[in-house]
């Protein structure tokens, strides 16, 4: 099998190197091919998602992404929109047809103290957020800024809703069997369609799954004040962007949060943290999320769940023995990675 | 002066009665006129924002709202959209021209333990969220659901952005002088306009205020993991709906959260909690937020800051002496209200 790696910007290359070391260890037969994306790709090739990268995806079995983007005041942010690093990321998602972004939010036993929430609220949290990734206000072509007015369009069609809802129900069947669909149906027509179609799919195909519908503002509250109530959450692109980042703070460090984006073609696996340009190149970035993304890649991208479990177990051990700075420890990227590799033996 | 009260649905009438008792005590010269809104108004008059209510607003100096809406499975939610309780609320906001929703999020000293956040994060939090309330995807007429597709439009014009930003800068000048404007400018054109116009207004008129721009997903994280970093937050309608509800969990009870909606005409003052139909009529609802809304009404609606301060002080005392059930105490609506009235003497 072939895995394309896209290290990207900031700490992306460091954490991807760590993740690749782990991947080589557990799956030595995998061919790894590295390509450019994001701001670095723009610098080198004049665009954030170069043709060579796009071509390489054609026969890939899975894609491992670092992270893209520069600092808040990076000149990249002043480029015309299609040349910015984020546009490379959106184009990549589109090219891969990854319509469902899966983000597990799990508080590891013994690490409750890292959470900004009280330990009794954080303990045992285990949520899977399924975010629609290719539709809605992100991609709709009906958008414009001109003079003193601007607009974007949040649009969905039934097939777009159904395919991501299907993924959520499928995932719920292997978990606690509960799905919360999130919308703003008391105000938006597009949410009315969303709610109707999610419910219809449940009634048609997933009668064993318990489905309820909640408003996005209410979920933003409850995910913080009572996170234990959720199993699988499914929602549209923009709400998912906000809620999945929000939920990601519960475990206490973004350095612990992997993600998988799945669809028709090869899956895309990436840590959810940003490029953290302030600490890039210092050897202190926490590679756990990137390594856990390898776990998701092995499970969902290459169907190797034994190897995936081995990675997950090794990361859990390393986190206890050699916590990185964001976790209140002192381990650097290299030490932590070494600890994961050692724990796998 | 004349204040129109709109008790609304669920616990709305109970908490409004409590608030009115306090208003009568501190401002006996105020004329109070009660009208219908929401689900109850639909039952009685066939529409959630009846003509009689609309007419009564014409010569009002301020409006005190309870809350509207039924239970999750209320038949009201199945009515055609314009007849639902929420539509009455949106029509009311529009009729009053209230384009800026101000929501103070303050953790009262000594009540940190109520927060879902660790006490060291909750302590001292004092944020003012200014949400644009009459524009964006909520009100834009370009919206439709038809067959297997639906859309809504998030649109803003420069004058809409400027008037609410102006309110935020003005408020910041009497606080710590810092404004965070929230958008999704890395993806949305409408956010690009928002960011540009907010910055231009700052550069033109509020050079003494410190302005920064953050993405909505990042703010959702930081408001939980580091709430102390914010002073005034200004954002568009939908992002404001989500973020203001999210921030509202920090003090630990929605029963503590008042709000003021200001614009060209009389202001609208209301607790941010919902209608809580499960506890309606039991005499146990916490009226603190409704009473604190009277405080905001006195300050912003009637320019009586001495009376406003008296109300705020009395509520703070009553919260300590007679906490309600949502705060871990035993006081009912009546006992708490009595305590506020007593504390004012
Ligand atoms: C960088 C940005 C375009 C992206 C998004 O909004 O999807 C990011 O926030 C994410 O969640 O992966
Ligand atoms: C009831 C609903 C229409 C309303 C809104 O979304 O504005 C509510 O959530 C609020 O924040 O006041």
Cβ neighbours, 10 Å, residue B13: 20
Indicate whether B183 and B71 sit together in one domain: no
Domain contains B259:
no
> Is residue B135 in some structural domain?
yes
Q: Does one domain contain both B128 and B216?
A: yes
| Residue B41 and residue B10 share a domain | yes
How many A from CA of A138 to the centre of ligand 1? 10
Residue B260 lies in a domain: no
Partner residue opposite B192 with nearest CB, options A145, A189, A220: A145
| Contact criterion met (CB below 8 Å) for A313 and A48 | no
Residues B252 and B111 sit within 8 Å (Cβ to Cβ)? yes
For residue B72, what pLDDT is reported?
82
**Ligand 2: centre distance to CA B288 (Å):** 20
Say whether both A114 and A184 belong to one domain: yes
For chain A, what percentages of helix, strand and coil (3-state, to nearest 5) are there? 50, 20, 30
Residue that terminates a domain, selected from A251, A279, A308 = A251
What's the CA gap between B280 and A78, in Å, rounded?
Answer: 53
Mean pLDDT confidence for B86-96: 96
A179 falls within a domain = yes
Please name every residue paired with A138 in a beta bridge, in sequence order, or none if there are none.
none
Contact assessment for residue A38 and residue A23, using Cβ atoms and an 8 Å cutoff: no
Task: Give yes or no: residues B156 and B208 share one domain.
Answer: yes
Q: Is the pLDDT of residue A287 over 90?
A: yes
Same-domain status, A140 and A234: yes
Overall number of domains in chain A: 2
Q: Which of A117, A148, A246 sits opposite B220 (nearest CB)?
A: A246
Sheet bearing A149-157, strands edge to edge? A144-146, A149-157, B149-157, B144-146
Q: What is the pLDDT of residue A52?
A: 96
> C-alpha distances in angstroms, A92 versus A54, A153, A261?
8, 21, 11
CATH code of residue A201: 3.40.718.10
Does A196 share its domain with A308? no
* Whether residue A236 is found in the same domain as residue A291: no
Q: CB under 8 Å to B302, separation ≥6 — which residues?
A: B1, B27, B30, B61, B62
Residue A111 has pLDDT above 90, yes or no: no
Quick check: B345 pLDDT over 90? Answer: no
Structural domain includes residue A260: no
In a domain, B313, yes or no: yes
Confidence (pLDDT) at B254: 84
- Last residue of one domain, picked from the residues A251, A276, A296: A251
Percent of chain A with pLDDT over 70: 100
Residue A301 lies in a domain: yes
pLDDT at position B111? 87
Q: What is the pLDDT of residues B41-71, one digit of tens each?
A: 999 999 999 999 999 999 999 999 999 999 8
Query: Are residue B84 and residue B5 in the same domain, yes or no?
Result: yes
pLDDT attached to residue A65: 98
Chosen from A190, A216, A274, A275 to mutate, greatest number of chain B CBs within 10 A = A190
- Ligand nearest to the CA of residue A242, numbered in listed order: 1
**Domain limits for position B209:** 107-253
Does residue B187's CB lie within 6 angstroms of at least one atom of ligand 1?
yes
B116 and B239 fall within a common domain: yes
Which residues of chain A does B241 touch, with a Cβ-Cβ cutoff of 8 Å? 184, 216-217
Tell me whether residue B91 is exposed, middle or buried, using C-beta atoms within 10 angstroms of its C-beta: 0 to 12, 13 to 18, 19 or more. Answer: middle
Residue located nearest, by CA, to atom 1 of ligand 1:
A86
Q: How many CA atoms lie within 13 A of A297 on its CB side?
A: 33
pLDDT in tens, B218-243: 999 999 999 999 999 999 999 999 99
Give the domain-ending residue among B221, B253, B285.
B253
CB-CB under 8 Å, A151 with B151: no
Are A127 and A42 found together in one domain? no
Q: Is residue B318 part of a domain?
A: yes
Could A151 and B150 be called an inter-chain contact, meaning their C-beta atoms sit closer than 8 Å? no
Does A158 sit within 8 Å of B153, measured CB to CB?
Answer: no
Closest CA to A214 of A234, A200, A238: A234
């Amino acid at each position: 099998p072939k895995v394309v790696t896209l290290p990207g910007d900031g700490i992306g290359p460091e954490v991807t190197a760590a993740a690749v070391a782990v991947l080589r260890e557990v799956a030595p037969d995998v061919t790894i091919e590295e390509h450019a994306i994001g701001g670095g790709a723009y610098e080198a090739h004049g665009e954030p998602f170069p043709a060579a990268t796009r071509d390489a995806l054609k026969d890939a079995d899975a894609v491992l992404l670092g992270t893209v983007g520069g600092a808040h005041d990076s000149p990249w942010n002043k480029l015309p929109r299609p040349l910015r690093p984020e546009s490379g990321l959106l184009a990549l998602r589109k090219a891969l047809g990854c319509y469902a972004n899966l983000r597990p939010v799990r508080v590891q036993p013994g690490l409750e103290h890292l959470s900004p929430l009280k330990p009794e609220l954080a303990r045992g949290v285990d949520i899977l957020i399924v975010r629609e990734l290719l539709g809605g206000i992100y991609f709709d072509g009906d958008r414009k800024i001109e003079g003193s007015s601007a607009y974007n369009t949040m649009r969905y069609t039934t097939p777009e809703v159904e395919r991501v809802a299907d993924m959520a129900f499928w995932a719920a069947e292997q978990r606690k069997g509960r799905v919360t669909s999130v919308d703003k149906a008391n105000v938006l027509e597009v949410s009315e369609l969303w709610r109707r179609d999610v419910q219809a799919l449940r009634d048609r195909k997933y009668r064993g799954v318990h489905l309820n519908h909640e408003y996005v503002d209410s979920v933003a509250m409850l995910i913080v004040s009572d996170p234990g109530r959720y199993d699988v959450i499914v929602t549209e692109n923009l709400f998912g962007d906000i809620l999945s980042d929000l939920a990601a703070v519960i475990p206490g460090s973004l350095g612990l949060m992997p993600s998988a984006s799945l669809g028709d073609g090869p899956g895309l696996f990436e840590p959810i943290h940003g490029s953290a340009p302030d600490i890039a190149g210092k050897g202190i970035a926490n590679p756990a999320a990137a390594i856990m993304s390898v776990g998701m890649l092995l499970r969902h991208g290459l169907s190797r769940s034994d190897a995936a479990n081995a990675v997950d177990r090794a990361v859990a051990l390393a986190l206890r023995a050699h916590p990185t700075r964001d976790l209140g420890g002192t381990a650097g990227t290299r030490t932590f990675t070494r600890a994961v590799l050692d724990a796998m033996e």
